Structure 1
Amino acid sequence: MLPLRESTIRAAFVNATRKELNDLTLPAGFDEIDWAKLDYLGWRDRKNPRRAFVVVPVDGEPVGIMLRQAEATPRTRAQCSWCRDVHLPNDVVFFSARRSGAGGRNGNTVGTLVCSEFECSANVRKTPPVAYVGFDVEAARDERIANLRMRAAGFAAEVLHEG
């Protein structure tokens, strides 16, 4: 992911009100982020733990999305829809997001199961287990990274779709 400035992040949000953007706090340690190890930027709001933010590259442009965590938690161990890691060291929660534009103003939302602290980029970079003799571990890791980027961008596209 390309490095982003605070002004770029704030301007990228497609489903937040001006007040919500004014209340937005950047993630702790923002100045020390290793952008090369991220496929998207995600963080929880320190003031409101049920609110979170993600900035996802879509066609080379950042798309910011404000998320709300559901009150209920999954009854069983859920799988993250973005990284799809089957050996998750973290929890997965359900987040919803208002659609952008008129759809969002009419109350339309989309939802997804995502790692609770947005650890997907680290999860897909872990060395996968060798599935068979001759298994290309690096190719498998690269595919996992590409799939994460595709799924995160797909979610952003759903938020952008006013349907």
Structure 2
Amino acid sequence: MRPLTEADVRASFVNADAEDLRIMEMPHDFLLVDWDYLDFFAWRDPGASRRGYVLIPHDGRVVGVVLRASDPGRSRSGMCNICRIMQPGNQVTLFSARRAGEAGERGNSFGTYMCADLSCHDNVRLAHPLAPNEVRAAGQVDFRLDGTRRRMETFVSHVWEQS
């Protein structure tokens, strides 16, 4: 991703109203973000635990989506639909996003299960432990990164489409 300023971030949201942008808090480490390392940028709002945000490059611009988290409460393990990693149930949350445009004004939303801390980008970079006779295939991490990026792009596209 290209480096972004706070003004760039606030201008990128396709499903936010003026109030969403007014109350949005940037992550505490925003000035330290290594933009070259990121395929997308996601964070939970430090001031409101139920809100999250995702920024992803799309056709030469950055598109942002405001997320709403459901109540935690799952006791079983669950899988994040973005990074496809199994985690304890309290670390996977249903996030929904109001659709952009008229669909969002009518109350339509789109949701999926994601890592509760929105750390999908980092989670796929962690190497899974290998079995004693297992060999890690070349490109395995790249395959996981591409899939994670593609699934996040698809999620944002469903929120952004104007229907």
Taking only aligned residues, the RMSD between alpha carbons, in angstroms, comes to 2.0
SS in 2 for 1:22: helix
Which blocks of at least 5 consecutive residues in structure 2 are unaligned? none
Distance 2:6 2:32 in 1: 13
Aligned length: 161
**2:81 matched to 1:81?**
yes
1:85-118 deviations in whole A, cap 9, x for unaligned? 2367x81100110000000000000001111111
1:42 aligns to what?
Answer: 42
Q: Secondary structure at the match of 2:42?
A: strand
Q: CA 1:122–1:72 in 2, change beyond 3 Å: closer, same or farther?
A: closer
Q: Work out whether residues 128 and 141 of structure 1, in 8 Å CA contact, stay in contact via their aligned partners in 2.
A: no
Paired residues of 2:69 and 2:95 also in contact (CA < 8 A):
yes
- Contact 2:77 2:87 (8 Å CA) reproduced: no
TM-score by length of 1: 0.88
Long gaps (5+) in structure 1? none
Partner of 2:6: 6
Moved more, 56-65 or 143-152: 56-65
Q: CA separation in 2, counterparts of 1:134 and 1:32? A: 35
Query: Which structure 2 residues correspond to residues 26-105 of structure 1 after superposition, within 5 A?
Result: 26-71=26-71, 73-86=73-86, 91-105=91-105
TM-score, length of structure 2 as denominator length: 0.88
**Secondary structure class of the residue paired with 2:139:** helix
The CA deviation at 1:72 is: 5.1
Alignment match, 2:112? 112
Name the SS for the 1:125 alignment partner: coil
> Which amino acid in structure 1 is aligned with residue 110 of structure 2?
V
Farther off after superposition, 148-157 or 3-12: 3-12
Q: Distance in 2 between matches of 1:118 and 1:37?
A: 16
- Would the aligned equivalents of 1:97 and 1:159 in 2 still touch at CA under 8 Å? yes
